[in-house]
Amino acid sequence: MMSVETPERVGLQNAQQLRTKSLPKWSPWAVAAAALVVSFILVYLTSWGGAVLTGVVAAILFVVFLGIAATVVEGGRSARNRMATTLIYGAFILALAPLLSVAWTLISKGSTRLDGNFFGTSMNNIGAFDEKGGAYHAIIGTLEQAGIATLITVPLGILGAIYIVEYGRGFLANAIRFFVDVMTGIPSIVSGLFILSFWVFTVTPLFNDGNARYSGFAAALSLSVLMLPTVVRSTEEMLRLVPTALREGAYALGVAKWKTIVSIVLPTAGPGIVTGVMLAVARAAGETAPVLLVAGGLSSINFNVFSGNQSSLSLFVFEQAGIASEFAPGRAWTAALTLVVLVLVLTVAAKLLASRNKLAR
């Protein structure tokens, strides 16, 4: 008797034909272990290299072994897909490794001076070979300089980006965009020299009986020159991402253009603008050359940002790293860790404030 091919049986046969073999889920781990063992034997035990070369060879062998195993079991097409996925994950790990290395180095070496003396005292009357001494004066200088630079830069940068995106047409808008692009590549020392020649040597003598005066405010001005192009470009890109339909809907309801920008466009682009601002603040807080040129540096505490020399955390790190003392590197690493944590705290706080905006959700 001839068997009757029912639809259920035909579907089962088609599913069996479409089903392909695949490596078990534990196979990548087994291949990784085998690659590590082979690399250890070939490289480490034969004294060809150390742990780093052993790891590199193991990674290469892992890709090769996994590709061979996948080709034998799954076929060429699936093997190529698996190898591409492996390379993508490998590239991610390779890019993440330097960041983790820097973070671990900062935490391990910067934790040596995490004490009240470091955060509560300055370097005034502290010799190079004294164990004590802290960065209180540098922390104050960084907060004041970066804060004033942010107050100057953010309104100018956002207004400039609004003009370019919402109002600017023709030569003027193209000229502003061109000069912003040029300013993006300006070295930090050039901005310091500009403020040194313009503000310190030209403006301050007018108010100090002909005497030039260094100050933290001059450092804030030089930092604002560095921050401005970053704020303008990031804000411009975020404003361009706002859907045109939102603007057209507001215009259809009779809302004025300026009010549409203030109440709809800016809140929608808010998180991206905050990200750009914090990137600019992070760059400004880590600059050394402008502060050294126009603020001069100081080992004691100076709260007056408009008069007298002033230090910063980046300048403090630079100074301590150049001192031939067994205690100076610890102060330098702790100051670097403090600077990174300070920028991280400001970034997280700004992100939390921006996330409360309903239009940005």
- Please work out, in degrees rounded to the nearest 5, the angle formed at the alpha carbon of residue 315 by the alpha carbons of 312 and 321: 135
Over the stretch 309-357, which tens digit does the pLDDT of each residue have? 999 999 999 988 888 788 888 899 999 999 999 888 888 888 777 666 5
Round to whole Å and give the CA distance between 161 and 148: 20
At position 320, the amino acid (one-letter code) is Q
DSSP 3-state assignment of 80? Answer: helix
- Maximum distance among all Cα pairs of the chain, rounded to whole angstroms: 118
Q: What is the pLDDT of residue 358?
A: 46
Residues in Cβ contact with 132 at an 8 Å cutoff, skipping those fewer than 6 apart: 117, 121, 126
Please report the DSSP string for 88-111 in residue order: HHHHHHHHHHHHHHHHHHHHHHHG
- Pick the residue with more confidence: 135 or 1? 135
pLDDT digits (tens, 9 = 90+) for 273-296: 988 898 899 888 888 989 999 998
What pLDDT, on a 0 to 100 scale, did the predictor assign at position 19?
52
Distance (Å, whole) CA 72 – CA 61? 16
If you compute the radius of gyration of the chain from its CA atoms, what whole number of angstroms results? 30
pLDDT of residue 140: 93
Name the residue among 141, 123, 142 with its Cα closest to residue 132. 123
Give the integer Cα–Cα distance in Å for 293 and 187: 13
pLDDT at 154: 93
The predicted structure's pLDDT at residue 12? 47
Separation CA 186–CA 289 (nearest Å):
13
Q: What is the mean pLDDT of residues 120-149?
A: 88
Whole-number Å distance between alpha carbons of 356 and 105: 35
3-class DSSP state of 296: strand
Distance between CA 201 and CA 214 in Å, rounded?
9
d(CA 168, CA 176): 9
Q: Cα–Cα–Cα angle for 44, 50, 55, nearest 5°?
A: 80
Q: Contact at 8 Å (CB) between 312 and 140?
A: no
Flag whether pLDDT at 98 surpasses 50.
Answer: yes
Mean pLDDT, rounded, of the chain: 84
Residue 307 DSSP one-character state? S
In angstroms, the Cα distances linking 108 to 64, 91, 94, 137, 354 are 36, 26, 21, 24, 32
Residues 6+ apart with CB under 8 A from 329: 109, 320, 321
Question: For the chain, give me the number of helices (H) and strands (E)?
Answer: 16, 0
- Whole-number Å distance between alpha carbons of 301 and 139: 10
- The partner residues of 296 in beta bridges, in order of sequence, read 310
Average pLDDT over residues 2-23: 53
Averaged over 108-130, what is the pLDDT?
Answer: 85
Res 155 pLDDT > 90: yes
Residue 64's pLDDT is: 85
